[in-house]
Amino acid sequence: MAGLQRTRARAAFETRTWLRYVAGIVISAAGTVTTLRAHLGLSPWDVLHDGLSRRTPLTFGQAVMTISIIVVVGSWLVGIKPGAATILNTFLMGWFDDLFLATRIGADLVDAPLELRLATLVAGIVLIGVGAAVYIGAGHGAGPRDSLQLALSLRLRVPPGWSRAAIEGVALLAGWALGGSTGIGTLVFVATIGAAVGIAFAILRVDPAGRRFPIATATES
């Protein structure tokens, strides 16, 4: 009986963590689409996704999936084998991007005052930060781009921050060459996304490895 209860508890726990993982992807996709609606420039990766969608028949979400697949394969070739969560992220993020874009919510913000569009951009960055904290906090691993960052960091023996900067720089340049949307929003994103993710991790009590911080009890000094 005790073994059965432990099995059920474990299954319930796994279900909750996977639901949390998917919820984080949904929040992140909502944040991405919110930054798109601001029409002020996109994050480096989304500049690439936008550029690819402009040059091919792919939708924005399909471009996200395509680049994600390429990134997963590249990471695998340099030693980071993708897990179930990475594969799920690869397809769900783009699917939810297209789903939110299809609603047309916020599509008319292109003609809105600059102040409102800046507020929309900031809201999108906050959502992306919260989404990252939620799905990484589920403990199932990181997304495709995080895996590539880790792979290059390990392969080249450089700090993760350096590999991330190099990867996003290449993505930005490639996206710009393809005609992706860049602007002040791109600079704002680069300057603030780290803080947004860090604050979200602190509020949700998640560390970068995806573990929940223990919550102190009243009896602890």
Mean pLDDT of the chain: 86
- pLDDT exceeds 70 at position 215: no
Has residue 210 got a pLDDT over 60?
no
Residue 216 banded pLDDT, cuts 50, 70, 90: very low
Q: What is the pLDDT of residues 25-37, one digit of tens each?
A: 999 999 999 999 9
Is residue 220 scored above 70 in pLDDT?
no
Instruction: Write out pLDDT tens, residues 81-101.
Output: 888 888 999 999 999 999 999
pLDDT band at 14 (very low <50, low <70, confident <90, very high): confident
pTM of the model: 0.85
Give a three-class secondary structure readout of the chain: CHHHHHHHHHHHHHHHHHHHHHHHHHHHHHHHHHHHHHCCCCCHHHHHHHHHHHHCCCCHHHHHHHHHHHHHHHHHHCCCCCCHHHHHHHHHHHHHHHHHHHCCCCHHHHHCCHHHHHHHHHHHHHHHHHHHHHHHHCCCCCCHHHHHHHHHHHHHCCCHHHHHHHHHHHHHHHHHHCCCCCCHHHHHHHHHHHHHHHHHHHHCCECCCCCECCCCCCCCC
The tens digit of pLDDT for each residue in 128-172 reads 999 988 988 888 876 788 777 767 776 777 776 677 778 888 999
